[in-house]
Structure 1
């Protein structure tokens, strides 16, 4: 029972997932600070509100309200997270990765058949025009004893 649990924990996927969750939680704190310290003050200046959550609120006739600012803030937060993930993590990692050497291209069946045909034609030309695969004359054969 413990052996199976140990194998489960030491799988690459589980360890990678645990690292991703921890990094994600730490990254969320960084993004939240960027939004709170940089984006929200700019939004407050433009919309005269503390954050987008309090901006662009439309009251409904029967009571309640629609907070367009909160939706825009969530979308903006997503775009910021995606941009930071790409420019801080993905782009540098792609540049650090060594390019994998490309495997040689495998010729297609038609290319192989064309090459065989050309070789057979060249062989026929050197044999004095004999058809490819034709039996060799008696003088070409060596007697077996």
Structure 2
């Protein structure tokens, strides 16, 4: 039981995934700070409250007024799109280019014929010899 768990943990993929999660969390904090302290104040200049996260739409109700935090939703969308763009341009695109370069340097792998294909070819050659 423990040996199987040890084998699972020691796989390269699990360790790489753990490192990716930790780095992703730290990276998310950096991008969130960038959006919170640079992008949102710039966008806040165009909303009535002056702060994007504080922008709410109030809907009067029978007993109370409902506040919809539209600014918080827009802020979350901006955070997501910024993180996705940075991850794509900093990590995914360079890795794809590196994979293309590696692929160009490798010779094309030619699959050898199977036993059945070889036996069929021998049979056909023998049949052609008998007819001659």
The answer to whether the superposition gives a TM-score over 0.5 is yes
Unaligned runs of 5+ in 2: 112-127
Q: TM-score, normalised by structure 1?
A: 0.63
Deviation at 1:59, TM superposition (A): 1.1
CA separation in 2, counterparts of 1:102 and 1:60? Answer: 66
Q: Secondary structure at the match of 2:102?
A: coil
Partner of 2:43: 43
Change (3 A) 1:102 1:76: farther
Alignment of 1:1-145 (within 5 A): 1-49=1-49, 51-55=51-55, 57-62=56-61, 63-97=65-99, 98-100=101-103, 101=106, 103=108, 135-136=131-132
Aligned residues: 110
Which structure carries more helix by proportion?
Answer: 2
After superposition, the Cα gap between the structure-2 partners of 1:11 and 1:50, relative to the gap in structure 1 and judged at 3 Å, is farther
Deviation of 1:24 after TM superposition, in Å, equals 1.0
Q: CA RMSD in A?
A: 2.5
Using CA pairs under 8 Å that are at least 6 residues apart, name the structure with larger relative contact order, 1 or 2. 2
